[in-house]
Chain A
Amino acid sequence: MAFLRELAMCLKRLIVSVAVWAGVALAQTSPSKTVPDLSGFWERKDEVGGGNFAGTFAGIPQAAVKPEVIEEAKRMAAAQARGYVVSFASKWCLTNTYPFFMQHSAAWDIAQTQDEIALVPEVHTFVRHIYLDGRKHPDPKHLMRSVNGHAIGHWEGDTLLVDTIGFVGGGGTPGGGRVGPMTHLTERFKLLEGGKKLSVTFTWEDPAFYLKPHTYEMTYHRSDPGTYAFEEYCHADDPVQGGSVVQPPQK
């Protein structure tokens, strides 16, 4: 009987040890095995409009911006109405700032590894790098500002949470928001409908522009298998492209 009690205790200790070990093992392996696979090509589709792509912006709220931002927008609109060219970006094929390619009609690609996710556009801009290796944002003194900003991410359940600072600024957001050097962006990436769609919720914050955080959601459709990337050329040397913006005689 003593032997059986000893054996029973031995088995109990071993089973408890196995259970604890298994729990630790699962805890270590589960994040890499259970994170959703966002990789692949994604594109926007006009589900609510007349098919002219304008419907993809339906439902995006107007940003609550400061009065001086509204005044500046009014001045620019009035100048444009008088024939003043507000921007020569398309004439010179200047770099598209974030989040331009996220609302563009061209598909974009997600490449996903354990330590990094890249958003890969076709248009005139840079790949957006989102670091998942646990690094922090650089010290502001050493932050090199960029059109895509400095982005770090982590998983919260089935949602990829991305935090970005360090934009060069100068661009805009859907809904009339602005992006500046001190703008802070939070994004939440989540698969919908069994991975057929991808929801991205953007929240922009910047006391220089916004009265409150500007939040909106965009939904992307997974592209067909076999989709491949194009390159959206822009030739500033081409007279046709150069003529896309012609400044009329100034009054």
Chain B
Amino acid sequence: MTDNFKRSGIGAVGVLLLTAASFLAPAPTRAETPNLSGFWEMHFDSRNVPPAVLTPVMANEDKSVQYKLDMFATRWCHFFGVPYVMDASPIDILQNLNGKEIVIATPVRNPARHIYTDGRTHVNPDVFDPLSNGHSIGHWEGDTLVVDTVGFSTEGMTSIPGGGRRTPDSHLVERYRLVDDGNRLSVIFTWEDPKVFQKPHTYEYRYFRAPNGTEAREYDCNASDENRAKFLLDVPGGGLK
């Protein structure tokens, strides 16, 4: 009897302890999602980019056209935009604690990418001023962040890895997912644009988590620098046809 009473007494204390523990446990403030925040680097083996299947018009276009477009944007320090900024290593992802937005900052002088994850839809194109980064909205599908982007401008470095270019009609879907125990970040890009691609163009980047203490860089751009301008506009090897 006494032993039973002791056991029940200790059991009651155990219940008290568990109750206290559950009361003190942090209450979840939002659905648990993977934390993508931090600096991510591109390495030599970060890109798996197959050639795009272009429309006949794009496939037959003089290759110097895209070269000139990109060099012009670089020479004049235009905003580079997506997809170029996703190559500007290291990228810094800031996933807001309140779950409403994810920002991707890069070292180039370019506006950061804003990915709205607050449930909003795309802005009405009738009132939307196109952007080099486009208008991005995101949502989570399990452990994957799915980002949908439209509303691109013609501003910046418009070439797309694998071929083709970003246009105001382009539609980009990205799927962000942590792999390798969170040490790498897989981003699968899929571009659609009926005037550019015969079928959706998909490629994957894998970013490596940067070491702790990684600092942001600022790669400045000075359009008034004559030597820089000469370097960028003089075509090596004798020029283009």
A binds B: yes
Q: Does any Cβ of A come within 8 Å of B105's Cβ?
A: yes
Q: Given that A3-B6, A113-B37 are known contacts, is A230 also in contact with B96, CB under 8 Å in the complex?
A: no
Known: A88-B224, A233-B155. A146 touches B218 (CB 8 A): yes
B interface SS class: loop
Interface string of B142-166 (1 = CB under 8 A from A): 0000000000010100000000000
**C-alpha gap A146/B220 in the complex (Å):** 9
From known contacts A113-B95, A116-B37, A129-B92, infer whether A95 and B221 are also in contact, taking CB-CB under 8 Å: yes
Residues facing B in A88-125 (CB within 8 A) are 88, 91-95, 109, 111-116, 118, 120-122, 124-125
The contact of B76 among A22, A91, A95, A235, by CB within 8 Å, is A235
Bound-state CA distance A73–B24 (Å) is 60
Q: Are A112 and B97 in contact (CB under 8 A)?
A: yes
Give the size category of A's interface with B: 35 or more
Which segment, of A25-33, A57-65, A208-216, faces chain B?
A25-33
- A232: nearest residue on chain B (CB-CB)? B111
Q: Contacts of A39 on B, CB cut-off 8 Å?
A: 96-98, 100-101
B120 adjacent to A226 (CB under 8 Å): yes
Chain A residues with CB under 8 Å of B135's CB are 228
Instruction: Indicate whether A14 sits within 8 Å of B94 (C-beta atoms), given known contacts A94-B224, A116-B37, A147-B218.
Output: no
- Contacting pair A230 B76 (CB below 8 A): no
Q: Which B73-123 residues have a C-beta within 8 angstroms of A?
A: 76-79, 92, 94-98, 100-103, 105, 107, 109, 111-112, 114, 116, 118, 120, 123
B112 near A127: Cβ-Cβ < 8 Å: yes
* A126 sits at the interface (CB 8 A): yes
- Is residue B240 within 8 Å, beta carbon to beta carbon, of the partner chain? no
CB distance from A131 to the nearest CB of B (A): 8
Is A135 at the interface (CB under 8 A from chain B)? yes
The answer to whether B78 touches A235, judged by C-beta atoms less than 8 angstroms apart, is: yes
Are A113 and B94 interface neighbours, CB within 8 A?
yes
Residue contact B10 to A10, C-beta cutoff 8 Å = yes
- Greatest chain A CB density within 10 A among B17, B79, B92, B96 is at B96
Chain A residues within 8 Å of B155, by CB: 231, 233
A25 in contact with B24 given A93-B77, A231-B132 (CB within 8 Å): yes
A206-251 CB contacts (< 8 Å) to partner B: 225-226, 228-231, 233, 235-237
Classify chain B: how many residues form its interface, as a range: 35 or more
The answer to whether B216 has its CB under 8 Å from any CB of chain A is yes
Scoring A residues 157 to 191 as 1 if CB is less than 8 Å from chain B, else 0, what string do you get?
A: 00000000000000000000000000000000000
Q: How far is the CA of A212 from the CA of B16 in the complex (A)?
A: 59
The contact of A237 among B72, B101, B220, by CB within 8 Å, is: B72
Interface residue? A46 (CB, 8 A)? no
Asked if A118 and B105 make an inter-chain contact with CB atoms under 8 angstroms apart, the answer reads yes
Tell me whether A118 and B114 are in contact in the complex, defined as CB-CB below 8 angstroms, given that A29-B26, A236-B77, A236-B223 are known contacts: no
**A18 contacts across to B, CB distance below 8 A:** 16-17, 20
B170 at interface by CB-CB < 8 Å: no
Measured CA separation A118–B97 after assembly (Å): 13
**Chain A residue at smallest Cβ distance from B223:** A236
A37 within 8 A of B: yes
Q: List 19 A-B contacts (CB under 8 A).
A: A3-B2, A14-B13, A39-B98, A93-B223, A109-B103, A111-B103, A114-B97, A116-B37, A116-B92, A120-B105, A120-B114, A122-B111, A126-B218, A127-B92, A228-B116, A229-B131, A230-B131, A231-B111, A233-B79
